């Protein structure tokens, strides 16, 4: 195995762990903000997740409803 292949094989799990740690931390922050009633904290966390919330009954109904 070449040194490049060695680096690819053993660096992937480290990057994966870092990404999963960040995602878990964001999820924890979102859940904590939701259950504490902290709307500003929840909105800030959802922006980091790149998730936008829709108000109920807006837009087109889902394929199940329609």
From the list 19, 21, 39, the residue with the least C-alpha distance to 30 is 39
pTM, two decimal places: 0.55
Mean pLDDT calculated for residue range 3-20 = 69
More confident position, 66 or 15: 15
Integer Cα distance of 26 and 66 in angstroms: 34
pLDDT in the model for residue 28: 94
């Amino acid at each position: 195995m070449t040194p490049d292949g060695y680096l690819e094989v053993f660096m992937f799990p480290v990057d994966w762990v870092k990404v999963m740690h960040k995602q878990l931390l964001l999820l924890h922050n979102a859940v904590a903000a939701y259950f504490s009633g902290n709307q500003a904290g929840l909105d800030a966390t959802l922006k980091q997740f790149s998730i936008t919330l829709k108000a109920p009954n807006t837009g087109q109904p889902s394929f199940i409803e329609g």
